[in-house]
Amino acid sequence: MFTNTTKQKLADGHTVVGCLLPLPEPTLAEMLASCGFDFILLDGEHGLFGPREIADAARAIELRGATPLARVTANKEEIVLRFLDAGAHGVQVPSLNSYDACEAAVRSTKYGPRGHRGLAGSRMSDFGTTVSIGDYTRIANEQTMVIGHVETAAAVGNIEDFLHVDGLDVIFLGPVDLSHSLGHPGDLNHPDVADAIDTVASAVLGSDKVLGVYAPTPDGARTWMERGARYILTSFDTFIVEGASRYLSHLRVEPSVET
């Protein structure tokens, strides 16, 4: 049976740091986990992960002691079910705009009595070989995480309702989609966007929910950690683009001309 070390660390009051991986390559997932990230978020929304790819990457991540999580394509029961059965220890669900949407995400993730996730002898239950079905459903409900995205103006307006959803572990700020929803795509420093981010952050930090943020740089991550965010996410794309650009910039410096 699986143990969700990321969920346990959060319960113990620690901060967790993860990396978003859009490319369904188990070796990359294992490499990132080996670097020491607490969790790897396998991207099925904007990335290329499906259930088969989740299963392969999850095995590699577990091998290195990190937590495999999955960002699902949409808040749909059948999608959440397949990503969890494949090997994700929790799901990050995009575009949650209301209390009812958050409730639906949690119910899709949990077995009864809290939810209505379909039951099968998947790899997450060790194929039914180590524990009874009853024990598995209990353990899975305890261990599985639910991370909900706040990335629209509607979600910001309903943020107080999110705080009352039992089983919603992390409320995650999606800044780019939020800026788009507010009419300022990509302008994270626009006053409207900054105010919306502050509204969400203040509400979550004053509750028993964990605030999650996307922080591509160490300085940005440290700023949010000092503010109280404890679920920090960066991206594999950032490392590749910035690392390659920095490398090439050092090689392509024009030599100085002596006069």
* pLDDT tens-digit map of 184-212: 999 999 999 999 999 999 999 999 999 99
Name the phi and psi angles at 148, rounded to 5: -110, 130
Q: Facing residues of 13 across strands? A: none
What count of other Cβ atoms lies within 10 Å of the Cβ of residue 228?
14
Distance of CA 200 to the CA centre of its chain: 17
Q: Where are the domains of the chain?
A: 5-251
Which of 91, 88, 95, 89 has its CA nearest to residue 107? 91
* Segment 86-95, tens digit of pLDDT: 999 999 999 9
DSSP 253: P
Owner of token pair 């706040």: 150
Question: What pLDDT is stored for residue 129 in this prediction?
Answer: 83
3-class DSSP assignment, residue 62: helix
Question: What pLDDT is stored for residue 126 in this prediction?
Answer: 83
Question: What pLDDT is stored for residue 121 in this prediction?
Answer: 76
Question: What pLDDT is stored for residue 255 in this prediction?
Answer: 63
What count of other Cβ atoms lies within 10 Å of the Cβ of residue 247?
10
Question: What pLDDT is stored for residue 154 in this prediction?
Answer: 97
Low-confidence stretches of the chain (pLDDT < 50) are: none
Question: What pLDDT is stored for residue 16 in this prediction?
Answer: 98
For residues 183 and 166, give the distance between their C-alpha atoms in angstroms, rounded to a whole number.
Answer: 32
Question: Any idea which residues carry the catalytic annotation?
Answer: 46
Question: What pLDDT is stored for residue 125 in this prediction?
Answer: 83
Q: Which fold has domain 5-251?
A: TIM Barrel (3.20.20)
Question: What pLDDT is stored for residue 57 in this prediction?
Answer: 98
Which of 94, 89, 236, 102 has its CA nearest to residue 173? 94
Question: What pLDDT is stored for residue 254 in this prediction?
Answer: 67
Question: What pLDDT is stored for residue 46 in this prediction?
Answer: 95
- Residues whose CB falls within 8 Å of the CB of residue 27, separated by 6 or more in sequence, listed in order: 60
Question: What pLDDT is stored for residue 13 in this prediction?
Answer: 97
3-class DSSP assignment, residue 148: strand
pTM: 0.94
Q: Facing residues of 213 across strands? A: 173, 232
Question: What pLDDT is stored for residue 128 in this prediction?
Answer: 80
Which of 175, 176, 172, 179 has its CA nearest to residue 232? 172
